[in-house]
């Protein structure tokens, strides 16, 4: 993450996620940015300007009518100083005022008085986010070229669960870096990544199949994150309802055998990530016609499907191979065993079962590799995907 020399005007509006802004200022400065903070009146109820002044190293402004501050650096001067404006958290109210073009406080005035890119990290209760008024404002702002980072789904300060959580500071810095300095922030440029996602379907007869609850979300989120890191991404997907991420090549398949064939046509590659919940078995011979319910018992003969991940890992020209382990119990033991048995470079393990992981927007992962492990706590799958790509990156090119 590189923002060296960038002037970031960080706007804070009123919301409980403002507490994350302290860390955000620090992370932005760690990435090399110079940060000046402007708060709405609402934000000052959550954090004091003094805290942010100490963290940013510059006086914080919260009012349009501050004569001393105007004399030191007028608001137009401040608008000219910025290379970008990031509002985090962006409340429903500030988004409404921006969409309407209001300039009723310093922050909205600065947004009107500048031509530099505007980035918003929305943070609000899920019902406020889903409200048609907020969504209409999002559309208006997006059509005007404003970039939205998030929000993520997950547990909220109000105790509810849903979409509306502000992205984590590190993610915001990563996203901002990619927008403002794309060349320095594309560590996977020139790399080819192949990802499997979703379930497979194994036909019993022309109308029925064996399958599982995988939604494909994790794999699709990884495809986006790998693309954002600059990679050329091929996504081999079983049946899902998800839209293809922009800039990603998608190959649709149904069965495990088709998935294996599609993956092999994409070899060699630099990184292979197997998130697909591939059916372990398939019916020996799908019935040519619809199976009739005549007998009291029906026995199915199943045969083992090829293990795509192991096959990729066994190739002489093997890529860096990442697997997933979805387990209902003894998660870490099984995952470590799979890491060794399938000759993987890294494995992401998670607990599945009632209301966990499969078909859910959230997940938590334990990532294992030979000689190490990392915990990625409960978060939106897109956030987890970015963190996982970062971990893979560290394993591919170990840093001193
Ligand atoms: O052995 P298990 O199915 O638990 O391993 C899970 C990992 O192996 C996942 O990464 C999954 O995508 C991959 N896999 C595969 N081909 C199979 C079964 C699993 O690539 N036939």
Q: What is the pLDDT of residues 272-324, one digit of tens each?
A: 999 999 999 999 999 999 999 888 999 999 999 999 999 999 999 999 999 99
Q: Cβ contacts of residue 347 below 8 Å, gap of 6+?
A: 322, 323, 324, 325, 335, 336, 338, 339, 367, 368, 369
- How many CB atoms are closer than 10 A to CB 9? 25
Instruction: Give the dihedral of Cα atoms 145, 147, 153, 158; nearest 10 deg.
Output: -90
Q: Domain of 23: which CATH number?
A: 3.40.50.1950
Q: Given 147, 180, 213, which residue is the final one in a domain?
A: 180
Are 163 and 240 in a shared domain? no
Domain total in the chain: 2
Mean pLDDT of 56-71: 88
Buried residues in 187-199 as b, exposed as e (16+ CB within 10 A):
bbeebbbbbbbbb
Whether 269 is catalytic = no
Q: Does the C-beta of 278 come closer than 6 Å to ligand 1?
A: yes
CA–CA distance, 248 with 206 (Å, rounded to integer): 31
**Percent of the chain predicted with pLDDT > 90:** 78
Domain boundary among 156, 180, 204: 180
CATH of the domain at 377: 3.40.50.10300
> What residues have CB less than 8 Å from 46, skipping those under 6 apart?
14, 15, 16, 18, 19
In a domain, 384, yes or no: yes
Work out the average pLDDT over 20-46. Answer: 96
- Provide the 3-class DSSP secondary structure of residue 192: strand
Sign of the dihedral through C-alpha 219, 221, 224, 229: negative
CA of 347, closest atom in ligand 1? 10
208 alpha carbon – ligand 1 mean position (Å):
23
Cis before 121 (ω within 30): no
pLDDT above 70 covers a percentage of the chain that reads: 98
Q: Whole-model pTM?
A: 0.72
Both 171 and 281 in one domain: the answer is no
Q: What is the mean pLDDT of residues 258-270?
A: 98
Distance, CA of 195 to CA of 244 (rounded, Å): 13
pLDDT at 400: 43
Q: How far apart are CA 287 and CA 295, in angstroms?
A: 15
109 and 135 housed in the same domain: yes
Residues 147 and 245 in one domain: no
Same domain for 124 and 174, yes or no, is yes
Please say if the pLDDT value at position 181 is more than 70.
yes
Residues 235 and 302 placed together within one structural domain of the fold: yes
- Which token pair is 314? 């066994």
- Say yes or no: 230 and 174 in one domain: no
Question: Does 111 share its domain with 260?
Answer: no
Q: Which of 129, 149, 180 is the last residue of a domain?
A: 180
Domain extent for 141: 7-180
Q: From the CA of 281, how far away is ligand 1's center (Å)?
A: 11
Please state which of the ranges 99-113, 148-162, 276-290, 296-310 shows the lowest mean pLDDT: 148-162
């Amino acid at each position: 993450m590189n923002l060296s020399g960038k002037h970031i005007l960080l706007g804070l509006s009123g919301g409980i996620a403002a507490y994350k802004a302290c860390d955000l200022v620090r992370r932005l400065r760690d990435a090399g940015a110079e940060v000046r903070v402007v708060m709405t009146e609402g934000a000052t109820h959550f954090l004091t300007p003094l805290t942010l002044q100490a963290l940013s190293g510059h006086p914080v402004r919260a009012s349009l009518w501050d004569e001393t501050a105007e004399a030191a650096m007028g608001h137009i001067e401040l608008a000219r100083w910025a290379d970008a404006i990031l509002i985090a958290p962006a409340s429903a109210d500030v988004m409404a005022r921006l969409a309407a073009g209001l300039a009723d406080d310093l922050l909205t005035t600065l947004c009107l008085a500048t031509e530099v890119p505007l980035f918003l990290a929305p943070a609000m209760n899920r019902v406020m986010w889903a409200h048609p008024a907020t969504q209409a404002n999002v559309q208006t702002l997006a059509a005007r070229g404003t970039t939205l980072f998030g929000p993520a789904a997950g547990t909220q300060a109000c105790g509810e669960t849903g979409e509306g959580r502000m992205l984590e500071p590190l993610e915001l810095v990563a996203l901002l870096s990619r927008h403002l300095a794309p060349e320095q922030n594309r560590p996977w440029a020139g790399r080819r990544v192949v990802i499997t996602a979703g379930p497979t379907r194994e036909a019993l007869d022309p109308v029925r199949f064996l399958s599982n609850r995988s939604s494909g979300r994790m794999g699709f989120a990884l495809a986006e994150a790998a693309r954002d890191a600059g990679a050329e991404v091929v996504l081999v997907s079983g049946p899902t309802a998800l839209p293809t991420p922009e800039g990603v090549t998608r190959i649709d398949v149904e069965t495990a055998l088709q998935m294996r064939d599609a993956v092999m046509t994409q070899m060699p590659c630099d990184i292979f990530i197997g998130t697909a919940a591939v059916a372990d078995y398939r019916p020996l011979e799908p019935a040519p016609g619809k199976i009739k319910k005549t007998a009291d018992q029906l026995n199915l003969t199943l045969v083992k499907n090829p293990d795509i991940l192991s096959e990729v890992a066994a190739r002489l020209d093997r890529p860096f191979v990442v697997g997933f382990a979805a387990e209902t119990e003894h998660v870490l033991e099984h995952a470590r065993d799979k890491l060794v048995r399938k000759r993987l470079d890294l494995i992401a393990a998670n607990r599945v079962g009632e209301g966990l992981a499969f078909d859910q927007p959230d997940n938590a992962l334990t990532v294992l590799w030979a000689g190490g492990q990392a915990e990625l706590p409960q978060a939106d799958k897109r956030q987890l995907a970015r963190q996982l790509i970062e971990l893979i990156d560290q394993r591919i090119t170990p840093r001193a």
